[in-house]
Amino acid sequence: MATVSELRVPLVTDGKTTADVTEDVCRPVENRPTIWWWIAFIPALAGLGMYLYAVGKTILTGIGLWGLNRTVDWGFDITNFVFWVGIGHAGTLISAILLIFRQKWRTSINRAAEAMTIFAVICAGLFPLIHMGRIWVGFWLFPYPNSRGPLWVNFRSPLLWDVFAISTYFIISLVFWYIGLVPDLATVRDRAKNKIRRFVYGVLSMGWNGSARTWARHEMTSMLLAGLAAPLVLSVHTVVSFDFATSVIPGWHTTIFPPYFVAGAVFSGFGMVLTLLIIARKTMALESYITIKHLENMAKVLIATGSMVGLAYGTEFFIAWYSGNPYEQFAFINRATGPYWWAYWIMISCNVISPQLLWFKSLRTSPVVLFILSIFVNIGMWFERFVIIVTSLHRDYIPSSWSYYTATSTEFQILIGSFGLFFTLFLLFIRFFPAVAMAEVKAVRSYAQKHPKEAPAKAKTRTKVAQTKGAAA
């Protein structure tokens, strides 16, 4: 290891060479899974089984199995939907928005974060389908010439905008992820030892040959897709918030919802990215790639978005008072002190108070503290959606129809089971696909560390300038 920049911490530590990157990233893909992988995978698979059981029971019996009633007609189902969509947002933020801003530290986490996005959107997208009761006619959501009239969907309804936003988000995320994956799959293909692997990874990598022209187009495509995905990710949670904001329920009918939801989504997503990556770097020995620096950067995003969410909570109360609307005031006072006060205060303590601990550098550079805090953030953001949905509904305009919603065991099974689905997909992903974007990491690896003499005269980053100077000296 030659020189270390005084200005910037290297993105990849321990002086890894390109060959080291390939070896380290391909190791989990090419070897038998470790005991830690099995320890994580078996409970995840059990959770998936529970999910399939509970969802199957719901589909066969009907949503009467849930605790919904006339007053509270959205409960765990829509809470889980909004929660999982929000989780997905961090992946797109890391891969698209940080790419546009040329934040090079994103390279070692973007692959896993994008995969997380796709799996979270899968989890999310299933909930509206399940909660509609007749999942087998779910395709009626899409406008297509049909023999029912043709009966068109209502394009003026935010619920339909949701259909478009979520499905577009899923497809574009999948394409973006796959295009980034192709060069790395080609590396796995070239290293493959047996015929089946060579065939499967060969087909998946589309005959990638690393030509300079292809790389130029690939870079251009990544940039274009990032440019499309960045507004897309903002639009998705904006549209989700329209489901609520365009209604006339006090507590939902708020213009603050789009930015508030997007900030919350990024907050919860980064919480989940931290949870996943802290596990992944430990169990897959990726500490040199997913460094403390990465964790710290994500912790800073958590403080920023957590504070934005806290500001939004305060703004809601302020506007309720300032508007002079008694229904609005009641909705918010009831939210904090009514029958669901416990949910509200779990939300406040997890989302607003706990991230403030990250102002301390010693805390935000400690993986253990970050892991615990990220779990708190996940819990808090789930409760935020629960609070918004259920407390706004359970006491509506007519006091005679006020009620209390308690989830049934089926709903709890579906909620816990959806985590099983998510983790099963994620663990299969880190088992069969390179979890770190090798090509991108190689491109930002501090080359001059190992070969100071061949360092470029025209350095692109300050890091390299510093290293060159160090080498010259």
Q: Which of residues 242-271 bind another protein (CB under 8 A)?
A: 242
Interaction mask 392-411, another protein, x per CB under 8 A: --------------------
30 binding another protein? (CB under 8 A) = no
By CB neighbour count within 10 A (0-12 exposed, 13-18 middle, 19+ buried), where does 318 fall? exposed
Interaction mask 202-241, another protein, x per CB under 8 A: xxxxxxxxxxxxxxxxxxxx--xx--xx-xx--x---x--
Q: Which is nearer to another protein, 129 or 302 (CB)?
A: 129
191 binding another protein? (CB under 8 A) = yes
Residues 5/388, Cβ–Cβ less than 8 Å: no
Contacts of 270 (CB under 8 A, 6+ apart): 90, 93, 298, 301, 302, 305, 377
Q: Which is nearer to another protein, 208 or 433 (CB)?
A: 208
List the one residue from 100, 171, 285, 353 that touches another protein (CB under 8 A). Answer: 171
296 binding another protein? (CB under 8 A) = no
142 binding another protein? (CB under 8 A) = no
What does the alpha-carbon distance between residue 398 and residue 389 come to, in Å, rounded to a whole number?
A: 17
List the one residue from 63, 96, 116, 172 that touches another protein (CB under 8 A). Answer: 172
Q: How is residue 354 written in tokens?
A: 């706990």
**DSSP annotation of 254:** -
147 binding another protein? (CB under 8 A) = yes
Residues 66/58, Cβ–Cβ less than 8 Å: yes
Q: Considering the complex, what minimum distance in angstroms separates the CB of residue 20 from another protein?
A: 10
Region from 97-105, 178-186, 257-265, 290-298 binding another protein, contact rule CB under 8 A? 178-186
What does the alpha-carbon distance between residue 289 and residue 25 come to, in Å, rounded to a whole number?
A: 9
155 binding another protein? (CB under 8 A) = yes
Helix axes 195-204, 158-191, angle to 10 degrees: 140
φ, ψ of residue 404 in degrees (nearest 5): -130, 135
Q: Which is nearer to another protein, 106 or 395 (CB)?
A: 106
Q: How is residue 36 written in tokens?
A: 């830690």
Interaction mask 431-470, another protein, x per CB under 8 A: -------xxx-xx---x---x--xxx---x----------
